[in-house]
Structure 1
Amino acid sequence: MNIPNTNSFISESIDENNSKPIVDFLNLKLNKPQINKFSDNNIGKLHQLELCKLINLKFPETLITTSLADLKKFVTVHKIVITKPIENPFSKHIVNGKDLHFFTSSKLITSNILKKYTSDRFQASLFQKYTEKKFEIRSFYLNETFKSMAIFSQQNEKTKIDYRNYDRERPNRIVPFLLPKSIEKKLIKLMKLLGLNCGSFDLIYSVNDEYVFLEVNPIGQFQWLSRNCNHNIERLIAETLTNGE
């Protein structure tokens, strides 16, 4: 039985206990063409940022804290700060027998906002210096091949902080994009350190003409990138899983 390993595309909605035998079976077939492993879903943002230091890949100044005083100091230094989930921005809850899904995007933090807080402590949270951008970049990666696009989210107040705050009436302009080879080499090195052969990168091209790494998602969505930029990513995935047959 010749089943290609498609671990990274197993639906998160599958019950973990029921899916374990399937995942175990797929992990035994590591000599077959594959796209990541199911366990790669657990690779965290903080580990990614730590590795970026090793390869000199620029990323925003970052603070993890539970202290309002530390956060105020961070905001005083950087003026404009954003907060985002430390891990998966999607959460699932069951309320009255119904599945409810929530998504948390990046949010702006300023000194005026902090004045509203009265508690000195909060749950461990991630904060980053806000990087003013010319545009954002989403890049799908598979076995050292990049399929990228530029997202001109900066001109729209709704999407300025996070393009995932989609404006359905005035969609962001998106165009195919080629990353510089110097950046691709660093990203390839990062993926090898992470043990990944596939993922979706989020980067920023700043007003200072710098490429700034945000994160790589081992199971990042690619359909809209493929469709809007004619990248034909589905064919690339199919040829990988079938050895081009």
Structure 2
Amino acid sequence: MRNKKVIIMSSETDVSTNKVVTFLTTKYTKISSSTSIEKIKKLFEGNYNFWYRRGIIQKQNNINPFFQREWNTVQSYLHSKLEKSAQFCLGSYTKEIHNNKLINLTIAQESGLNVPKYNAISSKKALLKFKQEFDKIVIKPAWNLASFVQDGINYNTKNTVLSNENDFANISDSFLPSFVQEYIDKKYELRVFFLKGKFYSMAIFSQLDEQTKLDYRNYNRTKPNRTVPYQLPSIIEKKLQAFMEGMGLDTGSIDIIFGTDNKYYFLEVNPVGQFEWLNENCNYYIEKEIANLLMYE
């Protein structure tokens, strides 16, 4: 039996959201950061299913830090109310903003998954000691990839490999605590989309291109990586299921690498990760699956 309505929190330009709604045959409402609080509060009334795809309720810019905290508290309440008042909820604003790679890796290990050895390090001495264990190490953003400009110079936080003495020459004796990880030689990368107990997996042969060898997100637009549908071993899916349950997530995009040692290594999960690329290359019709959940759960 269909619910009276479906509510979707997303950005106006999100391609995946726009494709999902084409499969909806019941009444739906899309909300975004431009939706008024008054309209959102009215949505709490009645029966509805809710999908938190992405975005945030009304941003407040250029205000006093104290009042920003006040607003953040109200904002979090409204997001929580939208989710908890729903008969069925997919995704979560709270899970997204509190997503933490280091905590994820700990829970992944507890779920029986292999993870590259990692640490949070704030000194050159500790970094060199960590490097002694491995041929190569990777410095990675602990949150998300970002770019910024300082003193007229463009910087980005993409993964960086350190392998020889020259790589450490210009590193300061102390620095902001940073996420470092063992470098795993891989045969290929895997993007796995998890949706309410189902796995949709794709292999990415990024190792065949020097530009994408370290990370497929260093996209080669001229010659894209080869991608194919992939079936994970059932034992890995069971461990991933345990991980997602431990995280309290019912959906998310998971990154895994398959090493030259023929082992699977968990890297990270993004609770609102993209699935459009995976969907198009593997013909999984994930948008239709999401629409059916929103209409019939």
Structure-2-length-normalised TM-score: 0.73
Q: Is contact 1:33-1:243 (8 Å) kept?
A: no
Q: Tell whether 2:119 aligns with 1:63.
A: yes
Equivalent in the alignment of 1:235: 288
Equivalent in the alignment of 2:178: 125
Q: Tell whether 2:193 aligns with 1:148.
A: no
AA partner of residue 284 (structure 2): H
Equivalent in the alignment of 1:72: 128
* Number of residue pairs matched by the alignment: 234
Of residues 96, 102, 116 in structure 1, which corresponds to 2:170? 116
Equivalent in the alignment of 1:203: 256
Q: Tell whether 2:89 aligns with 1:34.
A: yes
Q: 1:234 to 1:86 in 2, by over 3 A?
A: same
> Greater CA deviation, 229-238 or 81-90?
81-90
Equivalent in the alignment of 2:30: none
AA partner of residue 127 (structure 2): L
Indicate the SS of the match to 1:77.
Answer: coil
Q: Is contact 1:133-1:206 (8 Å) kept?
A: yes
Equivalent in the alignment of 1:174: 227
Q: Tell whether 2:235 aligns with 1:191.
A: no
Gaps of 5+ in 1: 94-101
Equivalent in the alignment of 1:98: none
Cα deviation 1:36-63 (Å, max 9, x = unaligned): 2210011211111111222221000102
Distance in 1 (CA, whole Å) between partners of 2:250 and 2:156 is 26
> Greater CA deviation, 34-43 or 104-113?
104-113
Q: Tell whether 2:48 aligns with 1:3.
A: yes
Distance in 1 (CA, whole Å) between partners of 2:169 and 2:156 is 26
Q: Is contact 1:134-1:152 (8 Å) kept?
A: yes
Distance in 1 (CA, whole Å) between partners of 2:276 and 2:221 is 17
Q: Percent identity?
A: 37
Distance in 2 (CA, whole Å) between partners of 1:219 and 1:129 is 26
Distance in 2 (CA, whole Å) between partners of 1:141 and 1:193 is 14
Q: 1:92 to 1:10 in 2, by over 3 A?
A: farther
Indicate the SS of the match to 1:219.
Answer: coil
Distance in 1 (CA, whole Å) between partners of 2:205 and 2:236 is 20
Q: 1:90 to 1:50 in 2, by over 3 A?
A: same
Distance in 1 (CA, whole Å) between partners of 2:104 and 2:85 is 27
Distance in 2 (CA, whole Å) between partners of 1:92 and 1:113 is 22
Q: Is contact 2:80-2:94 (8 Å) kept?
A: no
Q: Is contact 2:148-2:156 (8 Å) kept?
A: no
Displacement, 1:83?
1.1
Distance in 2 (CA, whole Å) between partners of 1:56 and 1:168 is 36
Displacement, 1:14?
4.8
Displacement, 1:91?
6.6
AA partner of residue 48 (structure 1): N
Larger Rg: 2
Distance in 1 (CA, whole Å) between partners of 2:147 and 2:196 is 30
Indicate the SS of the match to 2:89.
Answer: coil
Q: Is contact 1:33-1:242 (8 Å) kept?
A: no
**Over 6 Å off, 4+ runs:** none
AA partner of residue 188 (structure 1): Q
Q: Is contact 2:108-2:115 (8 Å) kept?
A: yes
Indicate the SS of the match to 1:116.
Answer: coil
AA partner of residue 187 (structure 1): L
RMSD across aligned positions (CA): 2.3
Q: Is contact 2:192-2:254 (8 Å) kept?
A: yes
Distance in 2 (CA, whole Å) between partners of 1:203 and 1:188 is 14
